[in-house]
Chains A and B, each alone.
Chain A
Amino acid sequence: MSEISAEQVAHLANLARIALTEEEIEHLTTELGQIMQAVEKVSEVATPDVVPTSHPIPLHNPLREDVPTDVLSVEQALSGAPEHDGTRFVVSAILGEEQ
Chain B
Amino acid sequence: MSDLIRLNAADLAAKLASGEVSSVEATKAHLDRIAAVDGAVHAFLHVNAEALETAADVDRRRAAGEELGPLAGVPIAVKDVLVTKGMPSTSGSRILEGWIPPYDATPVRKVREAGMVPLGKTNMDEFAMGSSTEHSAYGPTHNPWDLDRIPGGSGGGSAAAVAAFEAPLALGSDTGGSIRQPAHVTGTVGTKPTYGGVSRYGSIALASSLDQVGPVSRTVLDAALLHDVIAGHDPHDQTSIPDAWPSMADAVRRADVSGLRIGVVKELDSDGFQAGVRQRFHESLELLAANGAEIVEVSAPNFEYAIAAYYLILPAEASSNLAKFDSVRFGLRVVPEGGGTVEEVMAATREAGFGPEVKRRIILGTYALSAGYYDAYYGSAQKVRTLVQQDFDAAFAQVDVLATPTAPTTAFKLGEKLDDPLSMYLNDVATIPANLAGVPGISVPTGLAPEDGLPVGIQFLAPAREDARLYNVGGALEAILVDRWGGPLLSQAPDLSTHELMATEEGVV
Contacts and interface: CB of A to CB of B under 8 A. Distances in A.
Interface of A: 1, 4, 8-9, 12-21, 24, 28, 31-32, 34-36, 38-47, 50-57, 59, 62, 64, 69, 72, 76-77, 79-83, 89, 91-96
A4 B354 CA distance: 22
B319 to A, nearest CB: 6
B389 interface: yes
B335 interface: yes
B99 A17 contact: no
A57 B464 contact: yes
B385 A53 contact: yes
A98 B464 CA distance: 55
A95 B235 CA distance: 39
A56 B194 CA distance: 10
A62 B343 CA distance: 35
B102 A80 contact: yes
Interface of B: 99-103, 194-196, 209-210, 235, 238-242, 302, 305, 308-309, 311-312, 319, 323, 326-333, 335-336, 339-348, 350-351, 354, 356, 359-360, 362-364, 366-367, 370, 373, 376-377, 379-387, 389, 421-422, 435-439, 464
Chain B residues touching A, majority SS: helix
Ranked nearest first, the 6 interchain pairs of A and B with the lowest CB-CB distance are A56-B438, A52-B382, A46-B380, A82-B333, A80-B330, A76-B102
Contact of A19 (B240, B351, B439): B351
Given A35-B421, A59-B238, 19 more contacts: A12-B367, A12-B370, A16-B362, A18-B351, A24-B356, A28-B359, A35-B364, A35-B422, A38-B308, A41-B308, A44-B305, A52-B379, A53-B383, A56-B209, A56-B210, A81-B329, A82-B333, A83-B333, A94-B341
Contacts of B351: 18-21
A59 B350 contact: no
Given A57-B196, A62-B238, A82-B333, A16 B363 contact: yes
A96 B345 CA distance: 12
Contacts of B238: 59, 62
Contact of B350 (A4, A17, A35, A91): A17
22 contacts: A8-B367, A9-B363, A12-B367, A15-B366, A17-B350, A20-B359, A24-B359, A35-B421, A39-B377, A41-B305, A45-B387, A52-B379, A53-B382, A53-B389, A56-B439, A57-B241, A62-B240, A77-B102, A77-B329, A80-B102, A92-B339, A96-B341
B383 A54 contact: no
A43 B100 CA distance: 43
A96 to B, nearest CB: 5
Contact of A12 (B328, B339, B363): B363
B381 A64 contact: no
Contact of B354 (A18, A72, A76): A18
Contacts of B354: 18
Contacts of B328: 81-82, 89, 91
Nearest to B240: A62
A89 B100 CA distance: 17
A57 B438 contact: yes
A13 B363 contact: yes
Contacts of A43: 376, 380
A82 B98 CA distance: 11
B343 A17 contact: yes
B103 A17 contact: no
Contact of A64 (B235, B343, B384): B235
Contacts of B194: 57
A64 B234 CA distance: 12
A13 to B, nearest CB: 6
A35 B311 contact: yes
Given A38-B422, A43-B380, A18 B102 contact: no
Contact of B346 (A17, A45, A76, A77): A17
A35 B424 CA distance: 12
B159 to A, nearest CB: 24
